[in-house]
């Protein structure tokens, strides 16, 4: 027990001896358990079709990695995966960036301006939280179809772009910003949009980073909506595209290519999470007063 280990940060309980190793063993087991299906998918994407369908399922990567991935990226099954990745990227970025801009501006209006029915408008926005896409999907489809936005990026993005959650989050954050700051900016001669741009926006960057991660993944993982409005394979997004790759009827599924597509579909969100995590962790650590 008297081993010299560095003192733990205050507030953290340090485990010693057997408990220390047991905890780690537990954590490692957990990670392996979660990671195993992904590993299987990766293995499946590196072997040939016959190797997969003959049991037992291989557990170590084969030699078909390059063939499978290039086939997926360049030709795919219905559409090249590269195209689907691009479509998903445009959709997820469009939704994340659009949602952030719209909710920042609407929260700014609600918190900093006095206008008639301000409270009512806020509650109307709030009420839309109760209406997810799935509930309003038929009328929304009708509207998008009438605007001729089927099979287009705008059709993929616009119906999903308003976010009550983000508006609410920014509103709560803006309300913690002291009034004196707005007054000081007013005395300094900043007009409202200047105040928004110079003061509010930089102060919100931590929140924006966190929201971007969440919203990007929300957009990336959209399944039902793209499935409904993209009939042209060249507009398919990757998450729904994977499903489209399953053959109908008696055809044989090209599992290695499907698995390669799945692995490829996972990469961009991972990059966003890892990349943005550093930004918003830094923001959390040196938090502003």
Partner 1 sequence: MATVSLDNLKKSFGRIDVIHGVSIDIEDGEFIVIVGPSGCGKSTLLRMVAGLETVTEGEVRIGGERVNEIEPMDRDIAMVFQNYALYPHMSVFDNMAYGLKIARRPKPEIAERVASAAKLLQLEPYLKRKPRELSGGQRQRVAMGRAIVRKPAVFLFDEPLSNLDAKLRVQMRLEIKQLQRELGVTALYVTHDQVEAMTLADRMIVMNDGVADQIGAPLDVYSDPETAFVAGFIGSPPTNFFPAGAVGLSGGAKTLGIRPEHLELAGENARARGTVLYAEALGAETLVHLRMSDGEMATVRQDSSAPMPVEKTEIGLSWDDRHQMLFDAAGARIR
Binding residues for partner 1 (CB under 8 A): 178, 180-181, 183-190, 194, 198-199, 202-203, 286, 288-289
| Cβ at position 185, least distance to partner 1 in Å | 8
- Give the nearer residue to partner 1 in terms of CB position, either 199 or 266: 199
Q: Dihedral angle at the C-alpha atoms of 220, 222, 223, 224, nearest 10 degrees? A: -160
- Give the nearer residue to partner 1 in terms of CB position, either 248 or 287: 287
- Give the nearer residue to partner 1 in terms of CB position, either 142 or 183: 183
- Burial zone of 288 (CB within 10 Å; 0-12 exposed, 13-18 middle, 19+ buried): exposed
| Cβ at position 179, least distance to partner 1 in Å | 9
| Cβ at position 236, least distance to partner 1 in Å | 42
- Give the nearer residue to partner 1 in terms of CB position, either 194 or 243: 194
The Cα 167–Cα 111 span in angstroms is 11
Q: Give which of 122, 100, 95 is closest to 111, Cα–Cα.
A: 122
- Give the nearer residue to partner 1 in terms of CB position, either 56 or 178: 178
- Give the nearer residue to partner 1 in terms of CB position, either 202 or 247: 202
228, 244 Cβ separation under 8 angstroms: no
Q: Give which of 211, 195, 215, 191 is closest to 203, Cα–Cα.
A: 195
99, 163 Cβ separation under 8 angstroms: yes
- Which residues have C-beta within 8 Å of that of residue 145, sequence separation ≥ 6? 229
Specify the residue for token string 């409202």.
192
- Which residues have C-beta within 8 Å of that of residue 225, sequence separation ≥ 6? 133, 137, 156, 159, 160
| Cβ at position 289, least distance to partner 1 in Å | 5
| Cβ at position 196, least distance to partner 1 in Å | 13
DSSP H helices, 113-187, are 118-127, 137-146, 153-157, 164-176, 179-187
- Give the nearer residue to partner 1 in terms of CB position, either 116 or 139: 116
| Cβ at position 281, least distance to partner 1 in Å | 17
- Give the nearer residue to partner 1 in terms of CB position, either 17 or 178: 178
| Cβ at position 116, least distance to partner 1 in Å | 17
Which two structure tokens, joined as six digits, stand for 60? 């170590």
Which two structure tokens, joined as six digits, stand for 269? 């969100």
| Cβ at position 202, least distance to partner 1 in Å | 4
């Amino acid at each position: 027990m008297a081993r010299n280990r560095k003192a733990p940060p205050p507030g953290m309980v340090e485990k010693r001896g057997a408990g220390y190793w047991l905890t780690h063993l537990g954590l490692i087991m957990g990670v392996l358990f979660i990671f195993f299906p992904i590993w299987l998918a990766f293995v499946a994407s590196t072997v040939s079709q016959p190797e997969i369908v003959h049991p037992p399922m291989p557990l170590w990567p084969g030699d078909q990695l390059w063939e499978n991935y290039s086939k997926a990226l360049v030709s795919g099954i219905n559409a090249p995966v590269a195209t689907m990745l691009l479509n998903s990227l445009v959709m997820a970025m469009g939704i994340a960036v659009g949602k952030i801009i719209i909710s920042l501006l609407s929260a700014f209006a609600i918190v900093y301006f006095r206008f008639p029915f301000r409270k009512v408008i806020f509650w109307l926005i709030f009420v839309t939280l109760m209406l997810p896409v799935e509930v309003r999907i038929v009328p929304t489809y009708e509207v998008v179809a009438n605007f001729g936005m089927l099979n287009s990026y705008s059709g993929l993005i616009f119906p999903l772009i308003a976010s009550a959650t983000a508006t609410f989050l920014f509103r709560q954050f803006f309300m913690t910003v002291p009034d004196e700051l707005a007054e000081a900016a007013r005395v300094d001669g900043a007009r409202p949009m200047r105040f928004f741009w110079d003061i509010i926006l930089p102060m919100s960057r931590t929140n924006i980073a966190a929201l971007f991660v969440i919203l990007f993944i929300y957009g990336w993982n959209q399944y039902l909506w793209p499935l409904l409005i993209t009939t042209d394979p060249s507009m398919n997004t990757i998450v729904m595209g994977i499903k489209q790759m399953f053959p109908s009827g008696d055809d044989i599924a090209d599992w290695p290519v499907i698995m390669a597509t799945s692995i490829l579909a996972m990469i961009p969100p991972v990059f966003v999470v890892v990349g943005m995590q550093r930004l918003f962790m830094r923001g959390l650590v040196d938090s502003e007063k």
